Amino acid sequence: MIPLPTVLSDSTHGIMTHFGMVTVRITDDEGNEGLGYTYTVNAGSKAVACLIEEDIKPILLNADEDCIENLWQKSWWHLHFVGRGGIAAFAIAAVDVALWDLKARSFKTPLWKLMGGNNPKVKAYAGGIDLQMPIDQLLQQTQDNLAKGLKAIKMKVGREKLSEDIDRVRAVRELIGDDITFMVDANMIWPVDVAIQAARKMADYNIHWLEEPTNPDDITGYARIQREGGVPIAAGENFHNLEEFRHLISAEGVTFVEPDVATCGGITPWLKIARLAESYNLQVTSHGVHDLNLQLLAAIPNGSLLEIHGFGLERFLKNPITFVDGYTTASERPGHGVELDFELLAQYQTK
């Protein structure tokens, strides 16, 4: 478990002080190495690591590392009875990202080019995890994020009273003015009727999207909130397979599709989700692990905003991403270009 640089809070996970991280390194016969990782909140990291070690590793040993789809299918169906998503999707994701990184590195090409190569320049936003932050601190955080060069921000909503949320949204919009893109994230907390009421009130503040207004399993609820609330909906961080995305997208319950490559089964299903969204003329945004997601959004034609996630992984990275005028740029380094400082991470390692 890795301590967070600051205490974080949202409506569902409460107060967060640590996160779990599971890393995978795969080497080929020529000595090339691929790196993958996933993360957990509050629970599950040891179980994810155990699935990789006990159940996925035997599938990979002596296999052709270039046949990623085949290895993904074998892993998925090997774990299917206890999987179909959940922690199996996290475990497969870490391995799948490592295999894609390995392939791109062995081809000496950046991952975003191997995956299609659309545009390395991606607009980014600061994803605040700030529900319980006092309002003066929330405004300070907002100013700090704008000072970093970002032109888009997101804050948490879902406090005890909706009026508190509206007051905080108003204060932030007044601070940032009309030109900054502004999103809100309820982390699934509201019943559908409250979500519709909240969306209608927040529409006054030019909200770019309302994220996860209710339980992600309530597909018809999402469709109602989007239709009746009048604000575009973002969702997907709690989906762990392609089919869950298909259900929500085909029900017109989402506008900004938000798969997390570290938790949806990896790059292999992520690409299918992106193509599915494209076929519905929808944009794809990201969740978590922004250093990886930057590569993915740069690969596709329907990429939207990149979330700069608040877990502070940049402390352990050799090349953290930077921002110019609201944008960041995918690197030209081979693979995904992310190098973790394993020496620094060693102090948090558990068996």
Task: Tell the smallest beta-carbon distance from residue 212 to Mg ion (Å).
Answer: 5
> Is residue 156 annotated as a catalytic residue, yes or no?
yes
CB of 130 to Mg ion, least distance (A): 12
Amino acid letter, 281:
N
- Within 13 A of 286's CA, how many CA atoms are on the CB side? 31
Using CB under 5 A, pick the residue from 185, 218, 244, 260 that binds Mg ion: 185
Catalytic residue among 113, 123, 287, 336: 287
State the Cα–Cα distance between residues 59 and 54, nearest whole angstrom.
10
Burial class (CB in 10 A: 0-12, 13-18, 19+), 116: middle
Give 78-147 as a DSSP string.
Answer: HSGGG-SSHHHHHHHHHHHHHHHHHHHHHTTSBHHHHTT---SEEEEEEE--BTTS-HHHHHHHHHHHHH
> What are the distances in angstroms from CA 62 to CA 59, 98, 196, 293?
8, 16, 53, 29
Q: Closest CB to Mg ion among 106 and 181? A: 181
Size of the site for Mg ion (CB under 5 A): 2
CB of 126 to Mg ion, least distance (A): 13
Window of 35-43, 181-189, 248-256, 272-280 that interacts with Mg ion by CB under 5 A: 181-189
* Residues in Cβ contact with 243 at an 8 Å cutoff, skipping those fewer than 6 apart: none
Nearer to Mg ion, 51 or 131 (CB): 131
| Shortest reach from residue 111's CB to Mg ion, in Å | 24
Q: Mask of contacts with Mg ion, 127-166, x by CB under 5 A?
A: ----------------------------------------
Judged by beta carbon, residue 105 or residue 168, the one nearer Mg ion is: 168
Least distance in Å: CB of 156 to Mg ion?
A: 8
The CA-atom distances, in angstroms, between 169 and each of 138, 163, 265 are 10, 10, 34
Q: Minimum distance from CB of 211 to Mg ion (Å)?
A: 5
Q: How far is it, in rounded angstroms, from Cα 157 to Cα 115? A: 35
| CB closer to Mg ion, 127 vs 265 | 127
| Cα 278 to Cα 42: distance, rounded to the nearest angstrom | 33
- Considering the complex, state which of residue 49 and residue 129 has its C-beta at the smaller distance from Mg ion: 129
**Best CA proximity match to 20, nearest among 212, 262, 259:** 262
Residues in contact with Mg ion, shown as a per-residue x/- string from 194 to 233 under the rule CB under 5 A: -----------------x----------------------
How many CA atoms within 13 Å lie on the side-chain side of 314?
10
Nearer to Mg ion, 65 or 258 (CB): 258
Q: Which of 151, 154, 156, 240 is catalytic?
A: 156
Active site residue 351: no
Q: Is 307 in the site for Mg ion (CB under 5 A)?
A: no
Residues with catalytic annotation? 156, 287
Q: Which residues bind Mg ion (CB under 5 A)?
A: 185, 211
